[in-house]
Amino acid sequence: MSLSVSRLYKLIVPKYPAPRTTVEDGSSPPLKLGILGAAAIAPRAVINPAKLMPDKVQVYSVAARDAARAKKFAKDYGIPRTHDSYEELIADPEVEAVYIPLPNGLHYEWALKCIEKRKPVLLEKPATSNAEQAEKLFAIAKEKDVLVVEAFHWFFHPAAKLVKDIVSDTENFGEVEKFEGSLCVNNLFKDDDIRFKFSLAGGSLMDVGCYPISWMRYYLGENPTAARSLEHEVYPKDAKIDGFASVEYTFASSDKKKGAVHCGLKTPWLTWWRIGFISKLIIASGKKDLVYTMPIAPHVYHNISIRDIATGKIENRSCIVEGKEAWSTYAFQLEAFADAVKGGKDVPLFSNEDSIDNMRAVDMAYRAIGLPLRS
Ligand X SMILES: NC(=O)C1=CN([C@@H]2O[C@H](COP(=O)(O)OP(=O)(O)OC[C@H]3O[C@@H](n4cnc5c(N)ncnc54)[C@H](OP(=O)(O)O)[C@@H]3O)[C@@H](O)[C@H]2O)C=CC1
Binding site for ligand X (CB under 6 A): 37-41, 45, 64-65, 69, 101-104, 106, 124-125, 151, 153, 194, 200, 207
Cβ closer to ligand LJPVP2WV: 31 or 208? 208
Residue 134 binds which entry of ligand LJPVP2WV, ligand X, none, CB below 5-8 Å type-dependent: none
E strands in 270-334: 279-284, 288-293, 303-308, 314-317
Phi-psi region of 367 (alpha: psi -120 to 50; beta: other; left: phi over 0): alpha
User: What is the C-alpha separation between 162 and 171, in angstroms, rounded?
Assistant: 16
Cβ closer to ligand X: 170 or 199? 199
By CB under 6 A, name the binding residues for ligand LJPVP2WV.
185, 207-208, 296
Cβ closer to ligand LJPVP2WV: 56 or 153? 153
Distances (CA, A) of 99 to 47, 142, 367: 10, 18, 30
Residue 208 binds which entry of ligand X, ligand LJPVP2WV, none, CB below 5-8 Å type-dependent: ligand LJPVP2WV
Contacts of 245 (CB under 8 A, 6+ apart): 204, 205, 209, 229, 232, 261, 262, 263, 264, 365, 369
Closest CA to 361 of 146, 214, 173: 214
Shortest distance, position 153 Cβ to ligand LJPVP2WV, whole Å: 8
Residue 304 binds which entry of ligand LJPVP2WV, ligand X, none, CB below 5-8 Å type-dependent: none
Cβ closer to ligand X: 173 or 196? 196
Residue 185 binds which entry of ligand X, ligand LJPVP2WV, none, CB below 5-8 Å type-dependent: ligand LJPVP2WV
Cβ closer to ligand X: 209 or 222? 209
Shortest distance, position 169 Cβ to ligand LJPVP2WV, whole Å: 29
CA atoms within 13 A on the CB side of 245: 34
Q: What angle do CA 268, 270, 273 make, to 5 degrees?
A: 110
User: What is the C-alpha separation between 214 and 261, in angstroms, rounded?
Assistant: 10
CB-based contact 178:216 (threshold 8 Å): no
Cβ closer to ligand LJPVP2WV: 89 or 151? 151
